[in-house]
Structure formats: C-alpha cells, structure tokens
Structure 1
Amino acid sequence: MTGCCPGETGPDADAAFRPGWRLVLWTALALNVAMFAIEIGAGLAAGSASLRADALDFLGDAANYGISLGVAGMALSWRARAALVKGITMFGFGLWVLASTAWLATTGNIPHAGIMSGIAILALATNAGVAVMLSRFRGGDANMRSVWICSRNDALGNLAVLLAAFGVFATSTFWPDFVVALVMGTLAIVGGGQVIRQAIGELRHHRTPRELVSRA
C-alpha cells in the first residue's frame, strides 16, 4: 500500500473522542464485511489473483475497524499498540499476496475480465465512500491515521484492479492481473511499515510513569 500523506501532523490525543468516529467505523466495518463476501466469491469465479487479494484486503480492513472500535477513547498508548498490530497485519498481508500471486501465476489461467471490471467498480465506489467519511479524521493519532491510510489505499487498489481487467481483456493474458496483484502486495508492505514506524514513535514518546520506572 502507498505511504502516508505528505505534511504528516502530530498525534491528537483527543481525536478519538470526536463526534462521529464510532459511527463511521461501524459503517466502514459493515461495508467491508459485505464487500469481502462479494469479492471473494467473484475472485474465485473469475480466477483473478488481484480480486482475491482485494477481497482479503477487505477482510483485513474489517478486522482493523473492529480493533479501532475496541480502543476508541482509550489512552494514546493503547491506540498506538492497536495501530502497531494493524501495521504488522498490513505487512503480513502484503507478504501473503506476493507469495500467493506467484503461485497462481504458475497455472497460467486467464481471468474473466467482465467479472473483474464489474466488481472493481463496486469495490471502488465502496472504498471511495469510506475514505470520504474518514477523511476528517486523518490527522489524528497512529490508530486513526492507519484507518485512513487503509481506506485511501484500498480505493487506489480498486482502480488498479479495474486497469488489470482492461489489460486482461485487451491482451487475453493473465499478466495484467498478475502485475496488479504484485503491486498491491508491495503497497501493503510499504503502508504497513509506515504505520508500524509511527506507532512505535508514539509508544516511545507517550510511556506511562510505570513504564518509565521499569526502564530505569
């Protein structure tokens, strides 16, 4: 996944208490669970590596939204720990996508471009809507920022899947689908690394007195 937006701001300790944060997370959670079910079935039916990768991304994001709901309103140190878990998950997801895409490439099957394009458009509309809802929270702490990064990058990933569908249709080969899946895996690794770095930075600067004493 792509990196953080330019002009990164410092952590906002009160951001998790802003009105609408929980409602937006619940809405995003429901939409991501629904899209996972739709896209995993379509990915299997179409034989598309990029659709399957995107479906698992929806599942991972749903889990991340659930974690964010669980720590919303807690101390910054706990929100940073949640962000660290999510960053590690994003990183692991990227590694899995790269490995599974390489394995699927050995079959040489050509995906169904029509299914790919239709589902990609639906997924793009879903992620774009979620990203718009979350945009006003993107300047908060690492936990809130990681949610924004996931949604923004997912919309970019959907555009890439749509381009892959056009490429498969134009070339009658599996290579466009293969390349897009590899890019999505790489972006997940990059995005996960950025979330991990910010979360670790917040944990270092916001230790509790007990944690500071234990290190003395």
Structure 2
Amino acid sequence: MTASPLPVLPDERLASGIADLALRYRGRFSAETIQSLVIDSYERLAEHARVRTHLVVLAEILANERLDALAHIEGAAGSGLPRVLFVCSHNAGRSQIAAALLTHRAGGHAVVSSAGTHPAAEVEPVVAQVLTEAGVDLTDAFPKPLTDEVVQAADIVITMGCGDACPVLPGRRYLDWPVTDPEGAPVAVVRGIRDEIDAHISELLDSLPST
C-alpha cells in the first residue's frame, strides 16, 4: 500500500520549520499530521495578514502551540500546569493584555495562550505601549486564530467580549470578563483597561492550583 503524498507547501520555506517540528514531536505525530497542521496554520494566518514577511515563522509558532495542545489532549506526559486560554474577537487587545499579564505574573506556573474568533492583522500598538510601561514585553505577540486543539487542551477558558462566537466545551471552567475593547481608545483609557484586567488576573492567580 503506497503512502499518501504530502500536501503541497504554499511556501517552500515552511519545509525547515516542518523538519524542526518533526524532530520535536518524533514518535508522537506523523510527518503528514505535522505538515498538514503547519499548512493550515499558515493559511489561517495568511487570511488576515497585511504583510507576509514573517508569515512562515509565525505559522511555525502557531503550529507548535497547536501540536503541544494536541499532545496534551492525547495524554502526553506534560508539566501538569494549569492551561489558561483567553479569547476575544480580534486577539489584538484584551486577550493579548490578559495573556501577557498572566504569563508575566504566573512566573512559569501556568501554560497561557490567547486567540481570536476573527483575528486582526496585528496587535494594537497602544496595547503594546501600556504593557511595556508595566514592564511586560509584547514584542513577539501576534493575533492567532482560535483552533479546536487549543480550546480542548485548556483547563480554563476566559472570554472577553466575543459573544456567541466564543467556544463552549463541556467540562471546562469558563469565565467571562466584561472588559471594554481598547480598539481606537486613547492611551489613558487603555491604561485603565490594563489595570482592570490585572485586577482580574490577581483573582485568577488566587484560584489556580499551586504547583
């Protein structure tokens, strides 16, 4: 029986990242699974990209996050840390602030991710500004599409204004934080949004299991 041909790459530069991921997940996922997931990640990001300069790198980052989530779902031995997913509409404001603050304050005691139901092309510049003011680096952040693997792997899903488009899965702990959207808001308002989210983060940290 002949093996099915691998799907065609939309960008040949993806081959290097696929090879790296194949080594990282050797013995857990097939080459076909990894290549298909990288291509899907690339195509999802390309839908909203204004500039494609870094699309190959971002696709590998997104695919790695999805493969890590898939391994967790399938019962791979992992860190045992609580996994928290923040979801908003565009993954350019509120969910990025929340994920960055939790990552910063949790000190490695949680696996944190964020996504958008309709991801924007880029993170709001003012969001990066107010986080930098708070000593939180958002340099490598980018809006990501919401994928099934990341939702299913999460222990806690926190929605932030995505309404009916927010995911619902049985057995998950769901929280909804009704926070104002910072899109188009002046920096003083966005600082207030950052501080409001940070107060929610304090409560969340108190509720997370100690590791």
Q: TM-score, normalised by structure 2?
A: 0.29
Which structure has greater helix proportion? 1
Which structure has greater strand proportion? 2
Which gives a bigger RCO, structure 1 or 2 (Cα 8 Å, sep 6+)? Answer: 1
Q: TM-score, normalised by structure 1?
A: 0.28
